[in-house]
Amino acid sequence: MRIGILTSGGDCAGLNAVILAVVRRAVLGYGWDVVGIRQGTHGLMQDPPQAIDLNDHVNNDGMLRLGGTILGTVNKGDPFHYPMPDGSFADRSAEVIAGYNKLGLDALIGVGGDGSMAILHRLAKMGGINLVGIPKTIDNDLAQTEYSIGFTTAVNVAVEALDRLQPTAASHDRIMILEVMGRDAGHIALFAGVAGGADAILIPEMDYDLDALTEHCLNIRKRGRNHALVIVAEAVKRDDGSAVTQENDGQKIRYGGIGHWLADELGARTGWETRVTVLGHVQRGGIPSPRDRVIASAFGVHAVDLIAEGRFDRVVAWSKRKVIDVDMADVIVGPRLVDTNGTMVSTAKGLGAYLGTPPKTVRTAKTV
């Protein structure tokens, strides 16, 4: 047997740990060959396909703690809608499938988020590829899994930022706003906000009211505290409903900047000096947390076992303290958003944090 593995979508901590787990299980457990595909689907699109032999990495224990991905990754260039140099878009899916066939692979493990998983699922159906998916993304927005690789490390980074912001906020009598990533979901902001003691947690799943937020901050002051911490997810909108974006090139939207808008508004309304930190890609890099390494290892081993059992079109998932596997069709249903009636929201509210209210319009994306 000869299996391939690729990493796709935004990188995150724990990708090399999952590659190592796949190599160890496949090589030591089954005596198979493992091929690493470079730059996600882009590596397969090249002729010859860009790939490396991963068998030698079976002894590379440094990978367990190494950030990024040794294979490289892409979160642009959908092969079904590929941007060509002349500005047009082409369907290059057949080239990706041809690349897979040229490598002589019996199965493919795709480590990706929701966007990547949807693309790989479609390619697998078209090309008869034996596909198994492994969820990764700092956004933790994949359906069916409680945790995706990279999320916990990103939360740890955001909590450390709050830990560092609190003393400087207290020293200078300020409101500190921390803007975090998460794409359309507020999981990072919510987990980090609870763990880091944020006084207000703004997430895209909840509607906020600037007057209520202002009053909340002023009440903190009245109660005798000279500083406040606010965490805001990047996809939170301005009060007129418009998103703050850095890029919208027709391929994808890149959020960023809501923290600065909020600081202007909140500073003016409260009369309290307000500063902003935009955490950005710091949340994706660095050494994976032990929990991400555990999840990556469990996912990698289970994914290889699925191939050994001939069970394809499955995605491994973390559920109720163990690894399970689910139909890929049940995973590519759009982003899994924060459950506004869930434990994390009620905990944050119970701690007295300002979160706003659930939106009046029903959101269609999954919250499970």
Give catalytic residue positions.
Answer: 139
For 52, phi and psi rounded to 5 degrees? -130, 155
The verdict on 181 binding ligand F6P (CB under 6 A) reads: yes
Q: CB pairs under 8 A, 24+ apart, for 27-31? A: 27/55, 27/58, 28/58, 29/301, 29/304, 29/308, 30/1, 30/304, 30/308
**C-beta nearest to Mg ion: residue:** 113
174 marked as part of a ligand binding site: yes
68 is an annotated ligand-binding site residue = no
Contact between 184 and Mg ion by CB under 5 A: the answer reads no
- Residue 109 makes contact with ligand F6P by CB under 6 A: no
Q: For ligand F6P, which is the closer residue by CB, 125 or 254?
A: 254
177 annotated to a ligand binding site: no
Among 3, 107, 138, 232, binds ligand F6P (CB under 6 A): 138
- Give the list of residues 6+ apart from residue 161 with CB closer than 8 angstroms, or none: 178, 192, 196, 277, 279
Least separation in angstroms between residue 80's CB and ligand F6P is 19
284 annotated to bind ligand? yes
| Minimum distance from residue 257 beta carbon to ligand F6P (Å) | 12
- Binder of residue 182, out of Mg ion, ligand ATP, ligand F6P, none (CB less than 5 to 8 A by kind): ligand F6P
Which residues are CB-neighbours of 250 under 8 A, at least 6 positions away?
A: none
Determine the residue type at 7. T
Which residue intervals of the chain are DSSP H helices? 15-24, 41-45, 93-102, 114-127, 151-172, 187-195, 210-222, 258-270, 290-308, 343-350
* Token pair belonging to 141: 């927005």
Q: Is 9 part of any known ligand binding site?
A: no
Separation CA 82–CA 70 (nearest Å): 24
Identify residue 34 by its one-letter amino acid code. Answer: V
Question: Which of Mg ion, ligand F6P, ligand ATP, none binds 74 (CB below 5-8 Å, type-dependent)?
Answer: ligand ATP
Farthest-apart Cα atoms in the chain, separation: 69
- For residue 42, with 0-12 CB atoms within 10 Å meaning exposed, 13-18 middle and 19 or more buried, which class applies? buried
- Alpha-carbon distance of 178 to 242, in angstroms, equals 20
Residue 83 or residue 267: which is nearer to ligand F6P going by CB?
83
Q: Does 139 bind ligand F6P (CB under 6 A)?
A: yes
187 binds ligand F6P (CB under 6 A): no
Q: Which residues bind ligand ATP (CB under 6 A)?
A: 8-10, 40-41, 74-79, 112-116, 119, 137, 139, 183, 252
Nearest to 22 by CA among 1, 3, 9: 3
Task: Based on the shown chain and the rule CB under 6 A, indicate whether residue 336 belongs to the binding site for ligand F6P.
Answer: no
260 is in an annotated binding site: no
Phi-psi label, residue 66: left if phi above 0, alpha if psi -120 to 50, beta otherwise: beta
Q: Interface with ligand F6P by CB under 6 A: which range of 64-72, 86-94, 158-166, 178-186?
A: 178-186
Please report whether residue 113 would count as binding Mg ion according to CB under 5 A: yes
280 annotated among ligand-binding-site residues: no
244-303 residues in contact with ligand F6P (CB under 6 A) are 254-255, 284
Q: Decide: 136 and 150 in contact? Cβ < 8 Å.
A: yes
The interface with ligand F6P within residues 203-242 (CB under 6 A) comprises 234
Give the residue numbers of the binding site for ATP. 10, 76-77, 113-116
Give the residue numbers of the binding site for substrate. 137-139, 174, 181-183, 234, 275, 281-284
Query: Which stretches of the chain bind Mg ion, using CB under 5 A?
Result: 113-115, 137
Query: Which stretches of the chain bind ligand F6P, using CB under 6 A?
Result: 10, 75, 113, 137-139, 181-183, 234, 254-255, 284
